[in-house]
Amino acid sequence: MMVKVRTQDLLDNFNLELVAGKDGVHREIYKSDISRPGIEMTGYFKYYPKDRLQLLGKTELTYFNELKPEEQRDRANKLCTDITPGIVITRGMDIPEVLVEVSNTSGVPLLRSPHKTTRVTSRLTNYLEAKFAPFTAIHGVLVDIYGIGVLITGKSGVGKSETALELVKRGHRLVADDSVEIRQEDYDRLIGSSPPLIEHLLEIRGLGIINVMTLFGAGSVRSYKKISLIINLELWDQKKQYDRLGLEEETVKIMDVSIPKATLPVRPGRNLAVIIEVAAMNFRLKRMGVNAAEEFSERLTSMIEHGKE
């Protein structure tokens, strides 16, 4: 699914003023990279990335203002191509008349921001990167447990939503039930959220759909959360050997990111919510450098060594 971003979206989401080139506000932006055409101001357009959003700060505009009128017109004409999605002027600076004129004739939107160049660059880049981030949807439940985003997966009917309900009752926060929309931000972060239609809702077989926010309050839900751990629920299989020490580190790859995964066997009498809660706490301890399984293994090894002496 390819997300479409238009220059109009920037006008809708940021404190930008449309100065000229209103015919081009529906031009599409294809890249999250933003160009600051500094060397282009000197007349060198060989590597000009014309399909990117162009940003003119104090340096570029001061240089432009010092050029001769015919040079200014030449640079303005070369900057405003038929695929340039827009030019953003920062710091609320005065815009040269020739730039306004060329922007109107070429249909390249000319936008002005009152903020400093670095701030505008980072905010626009973050917005565009989030929009263009790789995206997928996974069947499961995402819960924030002690600040750890835990994605609970498993076959339909295994008890994912019931476990999530118990976790919410224990003070944790629901992010998404049934379908989790996942975006990859940066190269190692997966951010999970709920489709708008089913946000804050849990489906419990026998009860139907319940609204977690209405029942448990605003503190019981979150809009999005970074996924740090996957817990897969499966029906207890007598023939399968389950990890009893926790030394095996299994991971699952979602898009380009590997996430630690644990498999929990489900059978009557096991309180899954408490086990998942402890798994999240244990994960936090591991991140802080405390690994109980490794400590036990070392302790056992040293006892065996001492026993030999």
**HEC per residue, 135-158:** EEEEECEEEEECCEEEEEEECCCC
In this predicted model, what pLDDT tens digit does every residue of 91-123 receive, in sequence order?
A: 999 999 999 999 999 999 999 999 999 999 999
DSSP tag of 81: -
Cα torsion angle, 217, 218, 223, 225, sign: negative
Told to judge if 75 belongs to the known catalytic residues of this protein, a careful annotator would answer: no
- Of these residues, 4, 46, 244, 306, which one is catalytic? 244
pLDDT band (50, 70, 90) for residue 195: very high
**Average confidence (pLDDT) over 43-64:** 95
Told to judge if 261 belongs to the known catalytic residues of this protein, a careful annotator would answer: no
In this predicted model, what pLDDT tens digit does every residue of 126-169 receive, in sequence order?
A: 999 888 888 899 999 999 999 999 999 999 888 899 999 999 99
pLDDT band (50, 70, 90) for residue 230: very high
Answer yes or no: is 203 a known binding residue: yes
Q: Which CATH architecture has domain 5-132?
A: 3-Layer(aba) Sandwich (3.40)
> Left, alpha or beta for 39 (phi > 0: left; psi -120 to 50: alpha)?
alpha
Query: How many Å apart are CA 7 and CA 80, to the nearest integer?
Result: 14
To the nearest 10°, report the CA torsion of 15, 20, 25, 28.
-100
Told to judge if 253 belongs to the known catalytic residues of this protein, a careful annotator would answer: no
CATH 3.40.30.160 fits 135-291, yes or no: no
pLDDT at 296: 85
Answer yes or no: is 156 a known binding residue: yes
pLDDT at 306: 83
- Of these residues, 112, 160, 173, 222, which one is catalytic? 160
Residue 294 has pLDDT above 90, yes or no: no
CATH 3.40.50.300 domain residues, the chain = 135-291
Answer yes or no: is 169 a known binding residue: no
CB of 79 closer than 8 Å to CB of 54:
yes
- Of these residues, 23, 131, 178, 286, which one is catalytic? 178
pLDDT band (50, 70, 90) for residue 247: low
Tell me the CA distances in angstroms from 147 to 143, 172, 210, one per residue in order: 9, 9, 24
Answer yes or no: is 220 a known binding residue: no
pLDDT at 113: 95
